[in-house]
């Protein structure tokens, strides 16, 4: 491996297995899904080493460790995506920028997700969701919710973020090309004909070409605050910050935004449908909240009432979405590299409950600090941190009320609950994602009837994002 132990540091390396030469444990990771990290965490504790996607990696779980990593951005760690992701997203992406350049780019992007901008996207998001649910309801066959949610997220990204007005045929072409891009964005960086990496590069080039054509043909609205889409806001914000975005930067930003929104919201949408199916009492309580606010009459939604401010005041709706994202965090973690050797605690947050399946590894190793040597890749874990956090009572239960003002279990510490990451690289699209999921939940509670089309719920896998192995088969009926 290129990175080894720091001999000047007395602490031991984290335990773990490096798998086979070159491929390391990549195949285990791809096939075992969520079980991969859980099994190694149980064996080696909250900080363990492995070898994934062509590089040695230290995986970090537990609120206190994660806090140290996230707050150590630019001092202890810096962002470092796997090589395939980094190349496919391009040098101008936020994912690949650091320090002042990152700060400047984030400032430009921030306006894209401001309250004002979100208010202007709301009707379009609603339209995409309503159209999607109409199509699902009119299909006589059960829907593969995960696959169709990917289509819905893609439409949302294309229409709301980018504002493209393209034909159905162009939309289909872009969607298929984007799926090819996504399938290979986390691949071994081996550039050979027919390798996943090469397929990803070809898909990226085709997307960039189509996006450039659409941008050139698009009437841009850069005057005033009557935004039509995020691309307009981005251009206006860049101008306000005395920056001009080149065509290459625009193309890379566009792909990065769709990349960031696509799989995450599709995963969360699927988990939301699944949890509403599993917990009819939660669905009914959501309906009660809508009725109490005058948004639901005789089983029909009163569309005219839905403003961003109204959505923000629906407390139970907020709890439901937060709980879906706690139990099924779409992003499993974030990639960094150690800029200097530092120490972490194998026990993680020091709050491992005695009943936890990891309690043995925790007790055995809690006195041990381990070194994270300079140059090693570090992946902080979101889902495992949620799963092992002692601040959540009955951690495996779906219990939206844990986020109610009376209980607020997440109040205990910022880094126990982090579906959107944290620190200077936290999710820029968090508010947009929450709005999208809330609007979907409102439509599901207000205007749809849906039933599981299989006898049981399928097993969940976590690569590339968390989703059920069968995609979740559901029959939608629409309004009674």
Three-state DSSP at 151 gives helix
| Residue 106 touching ligand HEM (CB under 6 A) | yes
Task: Dig out the tokens for 187 from the structure.
Answer: 């691949």
Strand-strand pairing, 467-468 and 460-461: antiparallel
The smaller minimum CB distance to ligand HEM, of residues 265 and 448, is found at 265
Looking only at residues 344 through 383 of this chain, which bind ligand HEM when binding is defined by CB under 6 A? Answer: 382
Part of the chain binding ligand HEM (CB under 6 A), chosen from 117-125, 213-221, 257-265, 359-367: 257-265
Helix axes 315-327, 430-447, angle to 10 degrees: 110
CB 139 within 8 A of CB 124: no
Strand-strand pairing, 377-381 and 55-60: parallel
Looking only at residues 316 through 335 of this chain, which bind ligand HEM when binding is defined by CB under 6 A? Answer: 330-331, 334
| Residue 428 touching ligand HEM (CB under 6 A) | yes
Per CB under 6 A, the list member of 420, 435, 439, 442 interacting with ligand HEM is 420
| Residue 419 touching ligand HEM (CB under 6 A) | yes
| Residue 94 touching ligand HEM (CB under 6 A) | yes
Strand-strand pairing, 333-338 and 377-381: antiparallel
The smaller minimum CB distance to ligand HEM, of residues 143 and 437, is found at 437
Min. distance of Cβ 330 from ligand HEM in angstroms? 4
Q: Pattern of binders to ligand HEM over 450-469, x per CB under 6 A?
A: --------------------
Per CB under 6 A, the list member of 257, 338, 349, 445 interacting with ligand HEM is 257
The smaller minimum CB distance to ligand HEM, of residues 51 and 438, is found at 438
| Residue 265 touching ligand HEM (CB under 6 A) | yes
Considering CB under 6 A, how many residues would be counted as binding ligand HEM? 24
For the chain, how far is it from start to end, CA to CA, in angstroms? 61
Q: Which among 386, 320, 379, 330 has a CA at the least distance from the CA of 356?
A: 386
Task: Dig out the tokens for 399 from the structure.
Answer: 């219990």
The smaller minimum CB distance to ligand HEM, of residues 6 and 64, is found at 64
| Residue 432 touching ligand HEM (CB under 6 A) | yes
The smaller minimum CB distance to ligand HEM, of residues 79 and 395, is found at 79
CA atoms of 258 and 278, how far apart (whole Å): 30
The smaller minimum CB distance to ligand HEM, of residues 13 and 257, is found at 257
The smaller minimum CB distance to ligand HEM, of residues 33 and 423, is found at 423
Question: Which residue number has the CB closest to ligand HEM?
Answer: 429
Q: Which among 178, 294, 341, 127 has a CA at the least distance from the CA of 135?
A: 127
Looking only at residues 267 through 286 of this chain, which bind ligand HEM when binding is defined by CB under 6 A? Answer: 268
Min. distance of Cβ 471 from ligand HEM in angstroms? 18
CA atoms of 149 and 461, how far apart (whole Å): 16
Write b or e for each residue in 49-75: b if 16 or more Cβ atoms lie within 10 A of its Cβ, otherwise e.
Answer: bbbbbbbbbbbbbbbbbbbbbbebbee
The smaller minimum CB distance to ligand HEM, of residues 94 and 286, is found at 94
Q: Compute CA distances 61 → 131, 240, 345, whole Å.
A: 40, 40, 10
CA atoms of 329 and 367, how far apart (whole Å): 30
The smaller minimum CB distance to ligand HEM, of residues 208 and 381, is found at 381
Q: Pattern of binders to ligand HEM over 47-86, x per CB under 6 A?
A: ----------------------------------------
DSSP 233-285: HHHHHHHHTT----HHHHHHHHHHHHHHHHHHHHHHHHHHHHHHHH-HHHHHH
| Residue 200 touching ligand HEM (CB under 6 A) | no
Min. distance of Cβ 25 from ligand HEM in angstroms? 21
Q: Which residues lie below 8 Å from residue 170, measured CB to CB, with a gap of 6+?
A: 210
| Residue 433 touching ligand HEM (CB under 6 A) | yes
Min. distance of Cβ 102 from ligand HEM in angstroms? 6
Min. distance of Cβ 141 from ligand HEM in angstroms? 27
The smaller minimum CB distance to ligand HEM, of residues 181 and 420, is found at 420
CA atoms of 381 and 379, how far apart (whole Å): 6
Min. distance of Cβ 381 from ligand HEM in angstroms? 11
| Sequence-ordered strand ranges (E) for 339-376 | 342-345, 369-372
Part of the chain binding ligand HEM (CB under 6 A), chosen from 193-201, 206-214, 416-424, 454-462: 416-424
Query: What single-letter DSSP state applies at residue 161?
Result: I
The smaller minimum CB distance to ligand HEM, of residues 296 and 428, is found at 428
Task: Dig out the tokens for 126 from the structure.
Answer: 């609603």
Q: Which residues bind ligand HEM (CB under 6 A)?
A: 94-95, 106, 161, 257, 260-261, 264-265, 268, 330-331, 334, 382, 419-421, 425-429, 432-433
């Amino acid at each position: 491996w290129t990175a080894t132990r720091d001999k000047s540091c007395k602490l031991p390396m984290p335990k773990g297995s490096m798998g086979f030469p070159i491929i390391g444990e990549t195949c285990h990771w791809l096939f075992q899904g969520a079980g991969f990290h859980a099994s190694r965490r149980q064996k080696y504790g909250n900080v363990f080493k492995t070898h994934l996607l062509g590089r040695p990696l230290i995986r970090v779980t537990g609120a206190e460790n994660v806090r140290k990593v996230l707050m150590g951005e630019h001092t202890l760690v810096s962002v470092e995506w796997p090589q395939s992701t980094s190349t496919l997203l391009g040098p101008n992406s936020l994912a690949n920028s650091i320090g002042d350049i990152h700060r400047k780019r984030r400032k430009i992007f921030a306006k894209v997700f401001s309250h004002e901008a979100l208010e202007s996207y709301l009707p379009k998001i609603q339209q995409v969701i309503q159209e999607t649910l109409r199509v699902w309801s009119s299909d006589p066959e059960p829907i593969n919710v995960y696959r169709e949610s990917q289509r819905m997220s893609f439409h949302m990204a294309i229409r709301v973020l980018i504002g493209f007005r393209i034909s159905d045929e162009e939309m289909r072409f872009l969607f298929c090309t984007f799926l090819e891009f996504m399938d290979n964005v986390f691949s071994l960086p081996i550039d050979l004909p027919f390798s996943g990496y090469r397929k990803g590069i070809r898909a990226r080039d085709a997307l960039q070409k189509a996006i450039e054509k659409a941008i050139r043909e698009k009437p841009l609205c850069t005057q005033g605050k009557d935004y039509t889409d995020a691309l307009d806001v981005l251009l206006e914000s860049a101008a306000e910050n005395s920056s001009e975005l080149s065509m290459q930067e625009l193309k890379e930003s566009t792909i990065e935004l769709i990349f960031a929104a696509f799989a995450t919201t599709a995963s969360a949408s699927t988990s939301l449908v699944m949890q509403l199916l599993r917990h009819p009492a939660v669905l009914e309580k959501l309906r009660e909240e809508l009725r109490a606010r005058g948004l639901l009459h005789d089983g029909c939604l009163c569309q005219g009432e839905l403003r961003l401010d109204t959505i923000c005041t629906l407390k139970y709706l907020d709890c439901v979405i937060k709980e879906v994202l706690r139990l099924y965090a779409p992003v499993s973690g974030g990639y960094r590299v150690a800029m200097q050797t530092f120490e972490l605690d194998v026990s993680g947050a020091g709050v491992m409950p005695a009943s936890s399946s990891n309690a043995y590894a925790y007790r055995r190793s809690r006195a041990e600090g381990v070194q994270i040597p300079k140059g090693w890749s570090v992946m902080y874990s979101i889902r495992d941190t949620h799963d092992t956090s002692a601040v959540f009572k009955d951690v495996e239960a779906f219990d939206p009320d844990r986020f109610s003002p009376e209980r607020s279990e997440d109040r205990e510490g910022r880094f126990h609950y982090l579906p959107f990451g944290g620190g200077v690289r936290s999710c820029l699209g968090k508010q947009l994602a929450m709005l999208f999921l809330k609007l979907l939940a409102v439509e599901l509670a207000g205007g749809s009837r849906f039933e599981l089309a299989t006898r049981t719920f399928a097993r969940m896998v976590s690569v590339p994002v968390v989703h059920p192995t069968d995609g979740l088969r559901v029959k939608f009926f629409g309004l009674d």
